[in-house]
Amino acid sequence: MPKLDRTQLWSLEQYATERPTFREQVIAHKQRRRLSLNAHATLHFEDFLTMKYQVQEMLRVERIFEPDDIEAEIDTYNPLIPDGDNWKATLMVEYPDVEERHRALAQLKDLERHVWTQAGQGPKLYAIANEDLDRSNEEKTAAVHFLRFQLTPAFIAALNQSAPLNFGIDHERMRCAVEAAAEVRISLMEDLDR
């Protein structure tokens, strides 16, 4: 999958014109890249389009127009674009009540190291979490984690042969497993060099 560079971005003025249509496109795209693992954990799979949107929004909000500052934003978000043999996702741990969220995050320490994917009956592949910096401490996990699912050739081959695509968590305080819906599976397959 290609990475983002300055030539693929709109200027602030151009983005002001393009934003309503682009935003609508990205929202629809993100729906096909969202997977609820349970009522409190959701994976949002990133790709070129979601990162282009993120960068454009950051440039807009921060009023960034200097070339070096634009490059810094691109350098921050490019690592979240899949590389052809992996998926990159944001894991959101969500509890509407603040007190409940604090209690849950304290009980879910290291949750991010227990998120997996599986093709058919093959082995579970565990996500690599927070490669940029650790988001948990000895007292609690964070509510947001950045994950990389590094896929093996056998895993990709199984998917190419129509094996079901499953995701889950096997943390002692949160166990769940789901099969990816067809539209999520199709979208994720587009991230792979097959």
Please state at what angle helix 67-77 crosses helix 48-62, rounded to 10 degrees: 140
The single-letter DSSP state of residue 2 is P
Digit-by-digit pLDDT tens for the chain (194 residues) are: 789 999 999 999 999 999 999 999 999 999 999 999 999 999 999 999 999 999 999 999 999 999 999 999 999 999 999 999 999 999 999 999 999 999 999 999 999 999 999 999 999 999 999 877 666 677 889 999 999 999 999 999 999 999 999 999 999 999 999 999 999 999 999 999 97
CB 143 within 8 A of CB 105: yes
pTM above 0.85, yes or no: yes
pLDDT digits (tens, 9 = 90+) for 94-113: 999 999 999 999 999 999 99
pLDDT at 131: 79
